Amino acid sequence: MRVLIAIAPTIYWETLELALLRYRPDLEVRIAGPDVLDRETASFEPHVVVCNAVTATVRENVPSWVMVPYHSSDATIHVQGQGESSVEDISVGDLFAVIDRTEELLSDTLYPET
């Protein structure tokens, strides 16, 4: 499972990266600046993106994403095939839930029960 973190300010991505590396060491995590979000999305092909603003490239190519606008702790979450929802004061636990649900949905797609 690949996760791209492309948010500002720097302390946000540093904190998320440390939490993911510590508690989810099996994830492949890449950090990028918000200004290169589309390029990194195309090259890394993430399953989950965390960003300040969702682009058309993210919407069209990434199963799930979490948008945390700059200077806000509220977020918009999109999980593959389940639409968007709003979360006030998003936590790392909320991000873990998005990752877990995305992993579950992708697994069901790749290995459907017969």
Tokens describing residue 35: 């200004």
- Quote the pLDDT of residue 113: 59
**pLDDT category of residue 26 using cuts at 50, 70 and 90:** very high
| Residues in Cβ contact with 107 at an 8 Å cutoff, skipping those fewer than 6 apart | none
**Domain spans of the chain?**
2-110
- Quote the pLDDT of residue 73: 86
Long-range contacts of 74-77 (CB under 8 A, 24+ apart): none
Please give the helix or strand (H or E) that residue 91 lies within, else none: none
Which whole-number Å values give the CA distances from 65 to 17, 39, 47, 88, 113, in the listed order?
16, 16, 8, 16, 26
Measured over the CA atoms of residue 27, residue 48, residue 99 and residue 67, the dihedral's sign is positive
More confident residue, 95 or 110: 95
- Quote the pLDDT of residue 110: 60
Q: State the CATH class of domain 2-110.
A: alpha beta
What's the pTM?
0.92
Tens-place pLDDT, residues 51-75: 999 999 999 999 999 999 988 889 9
